[in-house]
Amino acid sequence: MTAAYERVQAARQKGRPTSMYYIQHIFTDFLEMHGDRRYADDAAVVGGIAMLGGMPVTVVGIEKGVDTDEKVRRNFGSAHPEGYRKALRLMLQAEKFGRPVVCLIDTSGAFCGIGAEERGQGLAIAENLMAMMGLSVPIISLVIGEGGSGGALALGVADRVWMLENAVYSVISPEGAASIVWKDAGKAAEASEALRLTATDLYGFGMVERVFPEADGDFAALCDTLRTAFTQEFEALRTLPVQAMVEQRYQKFRKIGGDAL
């Protein structure tokens, strides 16, 4: 057991609130919008229009599900390309109507399967990265549980990237890293430490702007904090000219890994 692996286990903990909980407790009047208008409605991604106080926003979240039936229906929060395409459709709609975008991230990763490959999982993620980099409305992404690699980043190109205290965000699962690097998936605890995937690590790297303490498990209180934080941050971001906001978003990612070279 390592401290980082305890975070990984907390992020995956049964009973930990999932995206729908935050949507219901932070926002009001959520109307879910289904489908990518290309192929299907992916239940692993929920999205729609909601009110943040008096401000209409578009919310997109990766949803793992709560009970067993729902988890199966939502593919345990592993999205197919149509899930990412639904997210993109709703974000482009938000851009058209000038609504800020909130993304909630909680996934062990984009789904790895035959259908996902046949329908262009790589392309779907790539298109989201590119479109979010240029989106003309403010975006805040919050990692609420697991931030699993490209499948998480597909909702994570944002003006502000925030994490909950026990959330993790990693290039690969600790088990995956252990099996590739040490040929032993049992070394997940060591891999968790080596990958530097905790909220504190990523805050230290400048990849995450805020880390929210989890109020000793009082998630309702956490949602009150988050509502205030989203409101204030969107109000601040909206004072920026669009070009300056998009430029700052690019520069924020632009300097990662390049600043020390």
Q: Which spans of this chain sit near another protein (rule: CB under 8 A)?
A: 110-114, 116-123, 125-127, 129-130, 133-134, 149-150, 153-154, 156-157, 169-172, 177, 180-181, 190, 194-197, 201-202, 205, 207, 250, 253-254, 256-258, 260-261
Nearer residue to another protein within complex by CB, 129 or 215: 129
Q: How far is the CB of 193 from another protein (least distance, A)?
A: 9
Nearer residue to another protein within complex by CB, 48 or 109: 109
- Nearest CA to 131 out of 239, 35, 246, 47 is that of 246
Kind of pairing, strands 45-52 and 28-32? antiparallel
What secondary structure letter does DSSP report for 215? G
Q: How far is the CB of 14 from another protein (least distance, A)?
A: 21
Nearer residue to another protein within complex by CB, 194 or 215: 194
Q: How far is the CB of 159 from another protein (least distance, A)?
A: 12
In a 10 Å sphere around its CB, with 0-12 CB exposed, 13-18 middle and 19+ buried, how is residue 243 labelled? exposed
Nearer residue to another protein within complex by CB, 97 or 250: 250
Nearer residue to another protein within complex by CB, 130 or 236: 130
Q: How far is the CB of 176 from another protein (least distance, A)?
A: 8
Q: How far is the CB of 115 from another protein (least distance, A)?
A: 10
Q: How far is the CB of 258 from another protein (least distance, A)?
A: 4
Helix (H) or strand (E) holding 164: strand 160-164
Tokens encoding 13: 């903990």
Nearer residue to another protein within complex by CB, 117 or 235: 117
Nearer residue to another protein within complex by CB, 115 or 213: 115
Q: How far is the CB of 48 from another protein (least distance, A)?
A: 25
